[in-house]
Amino acid sequence: MTTVTLVQGDITRQSADAVVNAANSSLLGGGGVDGAIHRRGGPAILAECRALRASRYGRGLPTGQAVATTAGELDARWVIHTVGPVFSPTEDRSALLASCYRESLRVAGELGARTVAFPAISTGVYRWPMEDAARIAVGTVRAARTTAVEEVRFVLFDERAYAAFAAQPR
Ligand code: APR
């Protein structure tokens, strides 16, 4: 049974078996969580991302999918990169956001990861409203409780994000 916990802080300072990255489809880095993970995790992560682009993901990682690499210098064994949807006021992309959490948990289970740290995917550069993103995130993790993952830890960067996730039934 997966327990769901919340912490406020920097995901790159978490100790977990797997840390989930809010990546973009290029897998070649960016700002926000992506920038922080590559900065603190070091070049080994990017090297593996480049190898993935040269092989399985020649056209990039599609939105809603997830793939694992080494965690480099982070206090984790793996980084699971997932690409969130950019928020759209006209098109409901909720299923793609849910897929990020579901696919990351599937990959984590396949790896044998017991603890998985998630950021609030799509709520930064990709502009997804925090409350709705929290509803989708916690709801998806609760529905996927049968995975081998023992702890899902949402790592929220600020009080507003923390409050939005804390307001969700767990
Ligand atoms: N630890 C935890 N959460 C963080 C951190 C951090 N070090 N840095 C940022 N956040 C929070 C943001 O405040 C936001 O709530 O993570 C959430 C996701 O924000 P982004 O990192 O901007 O991710 P996203 O909205 O999914 O956009 C992805 O941004 O950085 C680029 O390369 C990335 O193109 C991709 C896009």
CATH at 14? 3.40.220.10
| Rg of the chain, C-alpha, whole Å | 14
Q: Which residues contact 149 (CB under 8 A, 6 or more apart)?
A: 2, 105, 108, 109, 113, 114, 115, 116
> Ligand 1 pocket, 36 CB below 6 A?
yes
Task: Determine the pLDDT at residue 91.
Answer: 98
Task: Determine the pLDDT at residue 1.
Answer: 81
29: left (phi over 0), alpha (psi -120 to 50) or beta: left
Task: Determine the pLDDT at residue 52.
Answer: 98
Based on the structure, what is the number of domains in the chain?
Answer: 1
Indicate which residue's Cα is closest to atom 5 of ligand 1: 33
User: For the chain, which residues score pLDDT lower than 50?
Assistant: none
- Could you tell me the residue range of the domain that residue 115 belongs to? 3-166
Best residue among 25, 33, 87, 153 to mutate for probing ligand 1, ranked by most atoms within 8 Å of CB: 33
Cα 136-97-164 angle, rounded to 5 deg? 35
3-state secondary structure of 23: strand
How far, in Å, is the centroid of ligand 1 from the Cα of 119? 7
**Alpha carbons 126 and 147: distance in angstroms, whole number:** 28
How far, in Å, is the centroid of ligand 1 from the Cα of 84? 10
**Alpha carbons 85 and 76: distance in angstroms, whole number:** 25
34 is catalytic: yes
**Alpha carbons 46 and 16: distance in angstroms, whole number:** 20
> Ligand 1 pocket, 31 CB below 6 A?
yes
How far, in Å, is the centroid of ligand 1 from the Cα of 123? 7
